[in-house]
Structure 1
Amino acid sequence: MTDDNFGNTQPLDRIQENFLAKSERRLLNWLCARLPMWVTPDKLTGFGVLGALVIFLGYALSEWSLHTMWFCILGYAMQWFGDSLDGSLARWRKIERPKYGYFIDHSVDGFVILLIMAGMGLSPYVRMDAAAFATIGYLLLSIHAYLAARVLGEFKLSYLSFGPTELRFVLIALTLAMMVGGPDAGRVGKMSGFDFFVAGAAAVLNVLFIWQTLVTARRLDLMERPRSK
């Protein structure tokens, strides 16, 4: 994080406690050691964005053909590969650019979640308002992570033992359920079972944002509270 004068950067304390963190780290290190030199972190970032575009098209076109959602599965794999490996490869090769990497990586994260949820909202399976609610929750939690990185020097990469990789597995499972159940699965009135699932996940994200904000505010208050003489 930057100091109070936005001068030299200091390494962030990356907090990653998701279920798959250790196994994923071993796999990423194995891949980093074997990637050819022409594969660069920037190319991997672009590949991850391409994966998000594939996901968007897979959902958005599913009204015309159920089979387009197989592209979503492919897109999630592409997005994991690019997003998980770009920073890992930079650290493995010791070519990190902390300010540039931090800015690009997290700007891209916001764009990626927008593509995924917009595509889902354009599909016949999830209402756009439910998808928008989930997008808001994700972005609010992201804002908290970026603010905490600034004021605490801690960058939290997982919540409730879930991180980006676990979220992709949940979204893949949700996509497969859509393909099996159809748009009307679990429908109650104007909302399908998938609407309820996405809206429920959105509610969890928003509550987590509020809770983490209160916890962090309490920590900062105790750190900076004037001491009585």
Structure 2
Amino acid sequence: MTVLSQPPKALSRIQQNWLAAKERRLLNWLCAHMPAQVTPDVLTATGMVGAVMIFAGYAASNADPAWLLIAIIGYVVQWFGDSMDGSLARFRQIERPSYGYFIDHSCDGLATLLILAGIGLSPYVTMDVALIALAGYLLLSIHAFLSARVLGEFKLSYLSAGPTELRIMLIALTVMMMMLGAGPGLFGVWSGFDLFVGGVGSILILLFVGQTWVTGQRLAQIDGETLDAKN
């Protein structure tokens, strides 16, 4: 016998990044003008195409820095697909909460892997530094998913920055790669790009530790009040 699960409770989306309001206006305009044949699934696939373009652009930059243009275009394509799929579903009121949540964030994880693996395969950033950034991003994602489960809050931004601001930072970093080229590195080991990517990764890891502490204290208080109410 197949047991059907109940639909998940609606999550409170917490988005406090700098560009949130302007981005929302743009996304709403795009949703209103999107052709009927374009579906949220098509947009999700478009986002993954963008991630593959980013990976290919960085990897191919070993042969010619001009390939980094493909990575820059890929960031725009990936933003469009990743930001529009859920927005279009909500705009058209065709949300599939369980399916959408699962597919969207599964693709987010794979896209992040492709992006940072591509950066690590480029001549500008070493793979071990790229993996530190990947670990930081995935740890913070784990925190967001756990908070969604225990608090019903899905946090989309930290330190007033979200995925869109992060993409802009990475585009700027890629432009600097094209302008400055691959340097010899600090002490012959780390380049300035290594220090930037590693620094961002370290900040993400510290954010995870700090947010885990804060959320843990909040949950302890909530559970304590629940126990007191029962007694």
TM-score normalised to structure 2 length: 0.95
Q: 1:38: which partner in 2?
A: 37
For 1:60 and 1:159, how far apart are their aligned partners in 2?
29
- Matching of residues 67-146 of structure 1 within 5 Å: 67-146=66-145
Cα displacement string for residues 135-155 of structure 1 (whole angstroms, at most 9, x for unaligned residues): 000000000000000000000
For 1:36 and 1:67, how far apart are their aligned partners in 2?
33
Cα RMSD after superposing both structures: 1.4
For 2:7 and 2:179, how far apart are their aligned partners in 1?
53
For 1:103 and 1:97, how far apart are their aligned partners in 2?
10
Q: Percent identity?
A: 59
Cα displacement string for residues 124-175 of structure 1 (whole angstroms, at most 9, x for unaligned residues): 0000000001000000000000000000000000000000100000000000
Say if 2:28 and 2:87, in contact at 8 Å, map to a contact too.
Answer: yes
For 1:7 and 1:89, how far apart are their aligned partners in 2?
24
**Deviation of the 1:227 alpha carbon:** 2.4
- Matching of residues 1-16 of structure 1 within 5 Å: 7-16=6-15
SS at match of 2:109: helix
Q: 2:212: which partner in 1?
A: 213
Partner amino acid for 2:45? G
Say if 2:7 and 2:97, in contact at 8 Å, map to a contact too.
Answer: no
**Deviation of the 1:188 alpha carbon:** 3.5
Say if 2:27 and 2:84, in contact at 8 Å, map to a contact too.
Answer: yes
**Deviation of the 1:10 alpha carbon:** 1.6
Q: 1:3: which partner in 2?
A: none
Partner amino acid for 1:21? A
Partner amino acid for 1:203? S
SS at match of 2:228: coil
Say if 1:185 and 1:193, in contact at 8 Å, map to a contact too.
Answer: no
- Matching of residues 35-74 of structure 1 within 5 Å: 35-74=34-73
Say if 1:185 and 1:194, in contact at 8 Å, map to a contact too.
Answer: no
1:227 to 2:228 alignment: yes
For 1:116 and 1:25, how far apart are their aligned partners in 2?
24
For 1:14 and 1:188, how far apart are their aligned partners in 2?
44
Regions of 4+ moved over 6 Å: none
